[in-house]
Amino acid sequence: MNNPCGQHQHPHRLIQQPLDELTDRLRRHSRRVTGPRQAILDVLRRHQTPMSNRDIHAALGQGCDLATVYRNLHTLEGVGLVRRFDLGDGAARFELVTPEDDGHHHHLVCTRCSLVVEIDDCFPPEFEQSLAQRHRFARISHRLEFFGVCSRCEAGESRPGPVEA
Amino acid sequence: MNNPCGQHQHPHRLIQQPLDELTDRLRRHSRRVTGPRQAILDVLRRHQTPMSNRDIHAALGQGCDLATVYRNLHTLEGVGLVRRFDLGDGAARFELVTPEDDGHHHHLVCTRCSLVVEIDDCFPPEFEQSLAQRHRFARISHRLEFFGVCSRCEAGESRPGPVEA
DNA sequence: CGGTTCTTGCAACCCGTTTGCAATCATGTG
DNA sequence: CACATGATTGCAAACGGGTTGCAAGAACCG
């Protein structure tokens, strides 16, 4: 993988975590292991790209209420099992986080068909640190997403729906 | 200004553009110069940090309907007079764009008091280009914003309201 | 000045998300 | 292993940002 500007890379979750391991992590945070939670974690386990609340609810097929999905994703995020992403279309997306990985990575989104590619590289941490120092900001972090048109869409074969203007 | 990683900088609007110049640009795009539009441009002229539709509407003080603000910011964005930013709190923000500058820059946002600092540096374009090539994406762009806690909030003196979780 | 076309205000509406409430369930304890 | 208890769920109503249909009201062209 190319590495312009010497940026570091975030090795991230390609391995599927066992469901038990996930629910154990819930228990460790004194959260109850309920049907909806297991179902949600199971759905996320099987997906490599970020899913919206609606996506998850749909994948659950009437398994639980949409409000429950929302509430649980908050909970899971708070506990660190899941990471929230904002791909610019007004709906939050979530991905499972592995214990080794903090889930920090970015995405390349096709503005035509919504295809999402996981991106592991990023600019070097010194960049951010320098910014923090210059402006006297503490606990700095960033949000970075890329947008473009994938080769298929560029070739003319649009498929699903667009993401943002 | 520091420049880690040799990233380039976007010199951006610090000069206040005359209102006439702005409305001229409207005319050039065959858009009518109406009261609400002048008022909105005038409000944006006087502000250096991004404003939400609500902010602008409030600053106009019953000057025009909120729906009109929304519609006009779309129009202004389409014409290139204004640039839209997403600071992660679910409300679009806008900044005036100067003719020389494309408005591409980023922000550093305090998650406690919502203070926004304009950031002029960015990673080098080769980074993005390399990404595009590797993944066969065309017309690539990015969205990058930084979050942290400003020195004042870190020191304990919170003022307004928070931005994101 | 008058007509044509773009804009505006208003109100209803859309969509993602949150919340109050009563019923239900997971879990620690005895 | 049954219970008590507090966390969790489902449902429906509410919320906030943003959009839209429509009729009235301007800009602008000639």
Nearest nucleotide to A34, CA against C1' atoms: C26
Nearest to B138 among A126, A131, A154 (CB): A154
Taking C1' of D11 and every protein CA, the nearest residue is A65
Considering the domain boundaries, does residue A3 fall inside one?
no
State how far the Cα of A3 lies from the Cα of A22, in Å rounded to an integer. 33
Selected residues 42-101 of chain B with any CB under 8 Å from a CB in chain A:
86, 88, 90
What is the domain range of residue A114?
104-165
Contact A117, B135 (CB under 8 A): yes
**Are B19 and B84 in a shared domain?**
yes
Considering the domain boundaries, does residue A138 fall inside one?
yes
Tell me what pLDDT residue A156 has: 83
**Are B89 and B33 in a shared domain?**
yes
Q: Which residues of A touch B120 (CB under 8 A)?
A: none
User: Taking all residues of chain A, what is their mean pLDDT, rounded to a whole number?
Assistant: 88
> Which own/partner contact pairs does A68-73 have at CB distance under 8 Å and 24+ positions apart?
A68/A36, A69/A36, A69/A40, A72/A36, A72/A37, A72/A40, A73/A40
Overall average pLDDT of the A48-76 stretch: 96
User: Taking all residues of chain B, what is their mean pLDDT, rounded to a whole number?
Assistant: 88
Q: Which phi and psi angles does B18 have, rounded to 5°?
A: -65, 145
Structure tokens given for A6: 């010497």
Query: Are B123 and A119 within 8 A, CB to CB?
Result: no
Q: Which residues does residue A121 pair with via DSSP β-bridges, in sequence order?
A: A9
Query: Are A135 and B108 within 8 A, CB to CB?
Result: yes
Domain boundary among A46, A72, A100: A100
**Are A90 and A114 in a shared domain?**
no
Considering the domain boundaries, does residue A56 fall inside one?
yes
> Which own/partner contact pairs does B152-155 have at CB distance under 8 Å and 24+ positions apart?
B152/B113, B152/B115, B153/B110, B153/B112, B153/B113, B153/B115, B154/A138
**B20-64, pLDDT tens digit by residue?**
999 999 999 999 999 999 999 999 999 989 999 999 999 998 889
**Residues 6+ positions from B18 with CB-CB distance below 8 Å:** none
Nearest to A131 among B108, B134, B139 (CB): B108
Considering the domain boundaries, does residue B4 fall inside one?
no
Enclosing H/E stretch for A142: strand A138-149
Nearest to A146 among B140, B148, B151 (CB): B140
Query: Are A5 and B2 within 8 A, CB to CB?
Result: no
Count of domains observed in chain A: 2
CATH code of the domain covering residue A43? 1.10.10.10
Domain boundary among A59, A75, A100: A100
**A64-111, pLDDT tens digit by residue?**
999 999 999 999 999 999 999 999 999 999 999 988 888 799 999 999
Domain boundary among A77, A100, A123: A100
Tell me what pLDDT residue B99 has: 82
Q: Which residues of B touch A127 (CB under 8 A)?
A: 4-5, 7, 123
Q: Which residue has the tokens 């560029």?
A: A154
Closest residue on chain A to B139 (Cα): A148
Nearest alpha-carbon partner for A89 in A145, A158, A26: A145
Report the gap between the CA of B76 and the closest CA in chain A (Å).
14
Q: What is the 3-state secondary structure (H, E, C) of B1-30?
A: CCCHHHCCECCCCCCCCCHHHHHHHHHHCC
B126 touches chain A (CB under 8 A): yes
